Amino acid sequence: MASREKAADGVTPQHAFLAAWVGWVSLGESIGFLAPALAQFLAATVWPGADFGLLVLAGLAESAVLGWSQAHVLRSRLPRMSTSRWILLTAAGAAFAWSVGMLPSAFETWQDWPPAAWIGAGGVAAILLLGSIGTAQWFELRRHTFRAWRWVVGSSAAWAAGLSVFMLVAPPLWQPGQPAWLIAAIGVAAAVLMAVVMALVTGLVLIRLLQVTPTAGAGR
């Protein structure tokens, strides 16, 4: 009777899951993003030249918060899922993504490459960066649901959408001579929008993925 009343009111289990996922994951990623923001500030003011290591470490912290927020909601549908394993896999994937993303600034010799090499290397780097977190999380998700490979594709698309929103919002608003607080505020606002978009897309992917009754060890 309760489920029928909820359906009549337009609040289905899928809607409830999506709302919880978008809320918690957006919050987790927004809070976690403060770590890279702090690392960038430290690299610019305290430890010049240490941005590679600082940002990779910050990516670990960011993804640990993100992984916990995801697991907090996901365990409502997959109670046998390991929260600690999910967090560790998320952190590993994010550290790899940050490492790939920082390579151009760490090795400036790429500027001497021919255009064809730029395009090829950039395409490979984009695939590795966008797919790293979803691929890492797949190792846990495949233990609990069918066709878990779809998560890799959906997660990649979600991060592509989220990062696109960030790049469309933040860089045009950043201008030379702006005070540090304004630069930080623009970055945080763009990061929140990025988090919401990423959370919404991944939430929609999970709803489709979890329509199949999850079975431990049944992933593909």
- Render 150-166 in DSSP notation, one character per residue: HHHHHHHHHHHHHHHHH
Closest Cα partner for 22 from 196, 188, 152, 141? 196
Residue 212 confidence (pLDDT) above 80: no
Contact by Cβ (8 Å): 59, 95: yes
- Euclidean distance between the first and final Cα of the chain, in Å? 35
Nearest-angstrom CA–CA distance, 190 and 33: 11
Nearest-angstrom CA–CA distance, 183 and 29: 19
The reported pLDDT for the residue numbered 79 is 92
- pLDDT per position as a tens digit, 171-204: 999 888 888 788 888 888 999 999 999 999 999 9
Between 49 and 54, the higher pLDDT residue: 54
Report the pLDDT averaged over residues 107-126. 65
Contact by Cβ (8 Å): 68, 27: no
Question: Which segments of 107-214 does DSSP mark as H helices, in order?
Answer: 115-141, 149-173, 180-209
The reported pLDDT for the residue numbered 48 is 72
- Tell me the percentage of the chain whose pLDDT exceeds 70: 80
The reported pLDDT for the residue numbered 180 is 75
Nearest-angstrom CA–CA distance, 70 and 13: 17
The reported pLDDT for the residue numbered 217 is 43
pTM over 0.85: no
The reported pLDDT for the residue numbered 196 is 96
Nearest-angstrom CA–CA distance, 202 and 195: 11
Contact by Cβ (8 Å): 157, 133: no
Q: Which residue has the tokens 């697991």?
A: 71
The reported pLDDT for the residue numbered 114 is 65
The reported pLDDT for the residue numbered 105 is 63
Residue 218 confidence (pLDDT) above 60: no
Closest Cα partner for 69 from 21, 106, 107, 108? 21
Nearest-angstrom CA–CA distance, 65 and 31: 8
Residue 66 confidence (pLDDT) above 50: yes
